[in-house]
Amino acid sequence: MSERKIRVLVAKPGLDGHDRGAKVVARMLRDAGFEVIYTGIRQTPQMIAEAALQEDVDVVGLSILSGAHMTLCPKVVELLRAQGQDNVLVVVGGIIPDEDVEKLKAAGIDGVFGPGTSSEEYVNFITSHVRVPA
Amino acid sequence: MSGVAIRERAAVETLVEGVLRGERLTLSRAISRVENQEADAAALLTALYPHSGKAHIIGVTGAPGTGKSTLVTALAQSYRSAGMTVGIVAIDPTSPFTGGALLGDRVRMRALAGDVGVFVRSMATRGSLGGLSKTTGDVVTVLDAAGFDRIIVETVGVGQAEVEIASTAHTTLVIEAPGLGDEVQAIKAGILEIADILVVNKADRPGMDRTLRALEMMLDIEGNGARYVRHHGQLLRVESPVESDEEESRWKVIVMKTVATEGIGIDDLRQRIEAHRHWLLDSGEMALREQLRIANTLENIIRAELNRRIASSVPAGSLDALVEQIRRRESDPYSAAAGLLSGI
């Protein structure tokens, strides 16, 4: 009897300590029936990739408000791929200028979500994009 | 799911080799397969089981907010400084309403990041009520086979009766904090009875002396001897040969003070755990606890298999029809259950 759940790591890379949004999203995802691993603030890309590996998550959600997204987010993707986690979905939420969205996607980020994104949007995006093994 | 790449599914042999070689991603995926009770989980565990049995398993339990995660982190650091590797399984509750969970133990464990001698895995209870999840014991087996010297299992924040950890761990720590209850709380049955070591964390907080006194009083009343039968007796119904032995052969439950956030008392605690391990080995209690653990595992496997057979032999929808019949008082739950089970 297989009992698979979608596992999501929610992390805040970088130095801003504003974790309200990350906590709201973590809770939304919990209420959608996901198993959410919350790591808290001030995580380095290395810490995030390592946690994603140990927890064998399907999705990594990064919350970032500091403006350092162009440095930190691609680094997380790079580290995940380097350790063999090729299929982990990576999404970013926070304050991301429009002109950076395409650049992030080109760097391997699967989805970018700004303020006001509804719970349904997050959940639908994840359930329709997550790469569950056969 | 349109055109997304499907993660390649490794064969059981590949996973086993990887786990034994200490490949962390493979270990992580093996744990998922066991946790999700996938079709080949039994084959995986069968192959790993002969490699298990070397780690010392430490259970950490206590009420929410007593500082379990912080204490586990400090303890793991202490073991690392003593040159030992540590696997950690941290359990948090699954929502009974949505099936979702928020696993937050890592927030307190950031000090362990970047250390390849530590592996932390968060697990949700997924409907289990004893303080662990159904597959926690199996995940411990995987970590054990992977070669970690010490495995720490942190239960969900428990109330008074979640004592399952005692049949999974070799050494059980019950964590208390000052000001949580009076002397009567301390002599109630349940969680305090399973402690091999009682830890009063947050010892820098007011009310410390009172909590310490209450717990010591409890241990006095217990007589602090012949505990084993009583504390595991209800749970596992096994006679302890130690009972009739002389006084020295009994483990004396002690109360320890720690301030996990400052690392105070943690090295002492580690030494106490190791002393308990030596006592288990020297007194012959280890074999006994292993027997209990195995009996428990076996019982769980049999029960899970029976549940599976029951579920597969009860046609979907027939339960709903029965429930409706019972609601209309055309039948009753007792004979309906007997009728269903007679077919198995």
Asked if A18 is an interface residue toward chain B (Cβ–Cβ < 8 A), one would say no
What gap in Å lies between CA B292 and CA B241, rounded to an integer? 14
Is the CB of A133 inside 8 Å of chain B's CB atoms? yes
pLDDT score at B235: 38
How many structural domains are present in chain B? 2
Q: How confident is the model at residue A128 (pLDDT cuts 50, 70, 90)?
A: very high
Do B198 and B228 lie in one domain? The reply is: yes
Give Cα separations from A53 to A81, A89, B140, B231, B302 (angstroms): 11, 13, 18, 38, 32
B157 within domain boundaries: yes
Length of chain B: 344
Please answer whether residues B50 and B18 qualify as being in contact, where contact means their C-beta atoms are separated by less than 8 angstroms: no
Q: Tell me, what CATH number does B73's domain have?
A: 3.40.50.300
In a domain, B88, yes or no: yes
CA distance B341 to chain A (A): 20
Q: Are residues B76 and B91 in the same domain?
A: yes
Distance of residue A4 Cα from the nearest chain B Cα, in angstroms: 5
Domain check: are B213 and B90 in the same one? yes
B232 and B245, same structural domain?
yes
Domain-embedded: residue B210: yes
ipTM: 0.93
In a domain, B333, yes or no: no
Count of CA atoms in the C-beta half-sphere (13 A) of A5: 27
Domain of residue B213, residue span? 52-283
Examine the domain organization and report whether B7 and B144 are in the same domain.
no
List the A59-64 sheet strands across, edge first: A111-113, A89-94, A59-64, A7-13, A35-43, B101-103
Give the pLDDT score at B157. 85
Distance from CA of A30 to the nearest CA of B (A): 5
Same domain assignment for residues B2 and B134? no
Distance from CA of A63 to the nearest CA of B (A): 15
Judged by CB atoms closer than 8 Å, whether chains meet at A40 and B308 is answered as no
Same domain, B66 and B128: yes
Give yes or no: residues B153 and B196 share one domain.
Answer: yes
Most A CBs within 10 Å, among B38, B86, B102, B303, to test the A interface: B102
Tell me if B187 is assigned to some domain: yes
Asked if residue B310 is part of any domain, the answer here is no
Which pLDDT score, from 0 to 100, does residue B305 have? Answer: 85
Show which of B244, B267, B283 is a domain's final residue.
B283
B12 and B98: one domain? no
Question: For residue A31, which residues of chain B lie inside 8 Å, CB to CB?
Answer: 95, 98, 100
Asked if B122 and B199 sit in the same domain, the reply is yes
Q: In a 3-state reduction of DSSP, which class is residue B49?
A: helix
Specify the pLDDT at position B223. Answer: 55
Tell which of B7, B40, B94 to mutate to test the A interface (max A CBs under 10 Å): B7
Is B299 contained in some domain?
Answer: no
pLDDT at site B60: 95
**A124 close contact with B: CB closer than 8 A:** no
Decide which of B50, B69, B90 is a domain's last residue: B50
Structural contact between residues B227 and B251, judged by C-beta atoms closer than 8 angstroms: yes
B91: nearest CA in chain A? A37
Instruction: Tell me the HSE value of A115 on the side-chain side, using a 13 A CA sphere.
Output: 4
> Quick one: B14 and B114 in the same domain?
no
Q: Is the pLDDT of residue A81 over 60?
A: yes
Contact A53 B99 (CB under 8 A): no
Looking at the complex, report in whole angstroms how far the Cα of residue A5 sits from the nearest Cα belonging to chain B. Answer: 8
How far apart (Å, rounded) are the C-alpha atoms in residues B124 and B102? 8
B79 and B6 within one domain: no
What is chain A's alpha carbon radius of gyration, rounded to the nearest angstrom?
Answer: 14
Q: Which residues of B touch A39 (CB under 8 A)?
A: 106-107, 110
pLDDT tens readout for residues A22-77: 999 999 999 999 999 999 889 999 999 999 999 999 999 999 988 889 999 999 99
User: What string of DSSP letters covers B97-109?
Assistant: TTS-EEE-GGGGG
Contact A55, B28 (CB under 8 A): yes
- Residue with token string 């032995």: B245
Mean pLDDT in each 10-residue stretch from start to end of chain B (344 residues)? 49 95 96 93 96 96 91 98 97 91 92 94 89 91 98 87 84 88 61 88 89 81 48 40 55 91 96 96 92 88 85 80 93 91 78
The answer as to whether B62 is a domain residue is yes
